[in-house]
Chains A and B, each alone.
Chain A
Amino acid sequence: MANQPVIAGKSIVCGYDDRDVLHAVDVEVGEGEFVGLIGPNGSGKSTLLRALTGILPLRTGVVILAGQPLSSYSRRQIAQRVAVVPQVSGSIFSFTVEDYVLMGRTPHLGRLQAQGPDDLHVAWQAMELADLTDLASRPVTELSGGELQRATLARAFAQQTNILLLDEPTAFLDINHQHEIFELLTRFNQDEQKTIVCVSHDLNLAAQYCQRLIVLSGGRIHIQGPPPAVVTAQMIAQVYHAEVQVDTGPGGAPRVSLIPETAAPEDEQI
């Protein structure tokens, strides 16, 4: 990361109500990186992602987007630079997949400006990338979980931002769809030089696809670096309080396996 980071958080303290979830977290993401945010439940990984989007007010610290504080941009300007894929549940409003993906053009259109052929073209490219063209006229209410997740990704692609932030894009998906989503993200990262920050629950998927992992624990960064340096049995014992065996998977990435029938971790501190 010799270059200036495209998005960074500096000594971020934030949380919900009166409770701080993050305690002075510093994070920097360079252009074209594919970063995974991992950590146990409640460690603050989703909170960090939400802080980077600007939706969560910071108690102290600042988010820097392309060298400028996030607060110096309008909502629309941010959405032209950063797309966010939150955890989506199904909608009960029956937009077609095409209309849903076209919503990604919102930050690029003026108040009275109708979407034009260019917007349609961008939306269709995004749908092609996400392999959704066959479903273009299907209402989103009729999609499966994996299809809806792909449609939401396509909507983010249609925003044509340089940065993509994702909150557990593979939650509730089966193994085939998990793989599909991460392959799609990898293509987006490598072919289009897009910067990706992705919260993931799945250590193996994150280790396999991300270039750098940031491990959060108790609202602080525990360790960060390339997956082989980060995903170790020792780290998992310390942060997750789980005893695992880590070997190398077929792709060369670290592979985590639980050791069955072991006793609960001792001296767990709450």
Chain B
Amino acid sequence: MSRHQALVTAGLVLLLIATVAISLATGPSPLPPQKAMRILVSRVPGLSSLAPQATAAEQSIVLGIRLPRLLLALLVGAALAVAGAVMQSFFQNPMAAPSILGVSAGATLGATAAIMLGLNIGIWGLSPVPICAFLGALAVSAAVYLLSRRGGRTPVTLLLLTGIALGSLASAISSFILIRGQQGDLDLVIIWMMGSLANRGWPEVQMILPYAIGASVVVYFYSRELNVLLMGDEQAYYLGVPVERVKLILLTLASLLAAAAVAVTGAIGFIGLIVPHLIRLLVGPQHRILLPLCFLGGGVILGLADIAANMAGEIPIGIVTSLIGAPFFLYLLHRAREYEF
């Protein structure tokens, strides 16, 4: 790791600590960040002497409500950013995002169906909405992959266009189900589509945790292949990468990451696009360094966005990420000369 990369890592870690402190302190009954932080840290075995003077209510707000929400923001952001990094390597395009595979549209279809049909099949304390959203996202991305196979290969342009087509199809079906629904359900779906971390708790954390951590670790094992894939399928093949097999594995991992993230929070735009892009500008395209920093950076940025959403009177977080993400992305595009193609 170069000095520059170490500095970026240190900066992100500091930002993470600040995010944790502010996030735990922010909400309907604000606390001093230091106090919120001490409530958290005192729960670490051996550090109980740091416990501040806090009421039982303050304890339960920080540990029972704000902590799971914060963890959810960190995990969802991390999952989306790692999925985005994989997609950008896969498409050899710094502007690719997980939604290309139709993950968001599929998740929306699943969630819409669950809400409109009034499904009631909760497992592990989860409502049917995230489960159906997860299955919808995986179903659409699997269909995108299967329909893009040509003679044993999956050309990336075909994958891109199939993703657009199937995404539109899934959105159309969602809309069709929507207009048949009742006003109350309609509101629920629209709020879901904007993405939110409000009223989420430990069950959602448990749902995304294995995917966010497990799939990210497996993706990391493919760092070298992800580097080589940036050179294009043909060169990757000549460098000894079994391209089709690796692509299937990476697509599956990216779909799992994005589907799990979208399922628990609804569609959150721009994190999967902008975080890998930004981190790459800071530390270069080596995935061995890029991927862990995407995991960290994605979490931090979504954590900060959630603080903003919370402070702005609990607006959907998807609005925050797009309001800030889109102009920032435009700025990056204008600034970076490597996109003059």
A-side residues, CB < 8 A to B, are 53, 55, 57, 74-76, 78-80, 83-84, 86, 88, 91-96, 99, 103-104, 106-107, 109, 111-112, 141, 159
Evaluate whether A106 and B228 lie within 8 angstroms (CB atoms) in the complex, with A53-B238, A55-B237, A86-B238 already known: yes
What are 6 A-B pairs at a CB distance below 8 A? A76-B240, A88-B235, A103-B227, A107-B240, A112-B221, A159-B239
Residue pair A103, B239 in contact (C-beta under 8 Å)? yes
Among the interface residues B221, B239, B286, which one has the most CB atoms of the partner chain A within 10 A? B239
Q: A93 to chain B: which residues have CB within 8 Å? A: 92, 94, 230, 280, 285
Q: Chain B residue with minimal CB distance to A54?
A: B237
For the complex with contacts A55-B238, A75-B241, 20 further pairs of A-B residues with Cβ separation under 8 Å are A75-B237, A75-B240, A76-B240, A88-B235, A91-B230, A92-B92, A92-B94, A92-B339, A93-B94, A94-B284, A95-B230, A95-B285, A99-B227, A103-B231, A104-B239, A106-B239, A106-B241, A111-B221, A112-B221, A141-B338
Q: Chain B residue with minimal CB distance to A92?
A: B338
Residue pair A95, B341 in contact (C-beta under 8 Å)? no
Q: B242 to chain A: which residues have CB within 8 Å? A: 74-76
Q: Chain B residue with minimal CB distance to A104?
A: B239
Q: Chain B residue with minimal CB distance to A85?
A: B238
Q: A141 to chain B: which residues have CB within 8 Å? A: 338
Residue pair A79, B240 in contact (C-beta under 8 Å)? yes
Chain B residue total in the interface (Cβ 8 A): 26
How many angstroms between the C-alpha atoms of A172 and B243 in the bound complex?
29
Residue pair A107, B94 in contact (C-beta under 8 Å)? no
Tell me, rounded to whole Å, the shortest Cβ–Cβ distance linking B4 to chain A.
12
Among the interface residues A103, A109, A112, which one has the most CB atoms of the partner chain B within 10 A? A103
How many angstroms between the C-alpha atoms of A92 and B221 in the bound complex?
24
Q: B339 to chain A: which residues have CB within 8 Å? A: 92
**B149 close to chain A: CB less than 8 A:** no
Q: A106 to chain B: which residues have CB within 8 Å? A: 224, 228, 239-241
Among the interface residues A78, A83, A91, A159, which one has the most CB atoms of the partner chain B within 10 A? A91
Partner of A94, one of B227, B240, B338, B341: B338
Q: Chain B residue with minimal CB distance to A155?
A: B239
Evaluate whether A86 and B235 lie within 8 angstroms (CB atoms) in the complex, with A80-B240, A95-B284, A109-B224 already known: yes
How many angstroms between the C-alpha atoms of A250 and B179 in the bound complex?
82
**B46 close to chain A: CB less than 8 A:** no
Residue pair B285, A78 in contact (C-beta under 8 Å)? no
Tell me, rounded to whole Å, the shortest Cβ–Cβ distance linking B94 to chain A.
7
Q: B284 to chain A: which residues have CB within 8 Å? A: 94-96
Partner of B286, one of A53, A84, A99: A99
